[in-house]
Copies of this chain bind each other. A is one copy, B any other.
């Protein structure tokens, strides 16, 4: 399933030996057509890993596929690192008898170390040789880092399919490349529609999974379309399906943040604009104090208001309402229902902030801040 759920795609995962653990660390996803349309979104970090620089250059609406590795981010590795990324594309292209510029590259792992290229030179021909229609799950396994489970999602349309895989351990491992996502479809569509749908879908899903406010150097979301179903799909239909799959994958990222004990949805309503709602949501989900409070099962609405107060959104401090799991603990900027009525024992937490300034809304998702988050990120590279 996953990236091979749609017709026209083959994939594989492989143990190249990049990870000291001996777990799978190399994957390919190949689009065998008839179309080879592609779209992509990348991290907006100005410090971009070599594979992001390469993929950004070559992804111009058409790709034969992508080669991905875990065990090393190939970020902040300078010109030699860029040559390594290019070489990964070239080695893959040779196996597929295409140009290197038709192959995107994704890497994930520690920043600031060169990739072990001899292992990739040996591994890429091997992983390409075993790629097949059943390889989606093996590919999804090979891109994991501190993730504990593979992340897959599939949407079945009327005669067409959209499927994807993701890696990213939520708030746990974002020092490496937080998020890699590859989505495939056999829908018949144009590169322009693909890009428009992908941008719209990621904007309201993956881009609002704000696990710990640390923007990665490697984030990449690729969408490949083979047209193999022969079914033409409209832009709204494609966007809807993509949004559902991206939302599904994003929620899986949150759920696998091992250090986290809560998945938190911060819903902002009554905003004067969607941008206001997003700004407020991001301010709250970025607050360590708020995230520690949720870890402590404490509906600390004061910390929510403190965070809201740092934004430029339209609101009157005396009109803010905040609820935790349905209990309005803050009403009109002051004390509301008894906070002891709030039950935060479940993993899912819903915080709702009403700005009373308009009709726009947005939801931003995050996790709580826990001992294990600190532990994983204090020990990760040592």
Q: CB within 8 Å of B: which residues of A?
A: 45-48, 73, 75-78, 80-81, 110-114, 174-175, 212-217, 286-289, 292-293, 295-298, 300-303, 305-311, 315, 317-318, 320, 330, 332-335, 369-371, 373-375, 377-382
Contacts and interface: CB of A to CB of B under 8 A. Distances in A.
Given A78-B318, A310-B46, A295 B374 contact: yes
Given A307-B214, A317-B48, A370-B374, A76 B302 contact: yes
Closest 3 CB pairs of A and B: A111-B302, A296-B378, A47-B309
Contacts of A289: 174-175, 212, 214, 377
Contacts of A370: 374
A382 B298 CA distance: 7
B382 A296 contact: yes
Nearest to A215: B310
A206 B382 CA distance: 33
Contact of A305 (B47, B300, B308): B47
Nearest to A300: B381
Given A81-B334, A175-B303, A371-B374, 5 more contacts: A45-B306, A47-B309, A113-B335, A298-B378, A300-B381
A156 to B, nearest CB: 38
B48 A292 contact: no
Nearest to A371: B371
Contact of A334 (B76, B175, B296, B371): B76
Contact of A302 (B175, B292, B297, B382): B175
Contact of A333 (B76, B213, B311, B381): B76
A332 B76 CA distance: 9
Contact of A306 (B175, B288, B318, B320): B175
Contacts of A310: 45-46, 215
9 contacts: A77-B334, A78-B333, A81-B334, A110-B302, A112-B302, A213-B288, A296-B379, A300-B381, A373-B374
A288 B377 contact: yes
A287 B214 CA distance: 6
Nearest to A307: B214
A292 B330 contact: no
A62 B318 CA distance: 29
Nearest to A378: B296
A216 B378 contact: no
A113 B300 CA distance: 11
Nearest to A332: B78
Contacts of A330: 76, 112
Contacts of A287: 213-214
Contacts of A379: 296
Contact of A317 (B47, B114, B296, B373): B47
Contact of A369 (B77, B307, B374): B374
B45 A309 contact: yes
A20 B375 CA distance: 33
Nearest to A336: B112
A112 B301 contact: yes
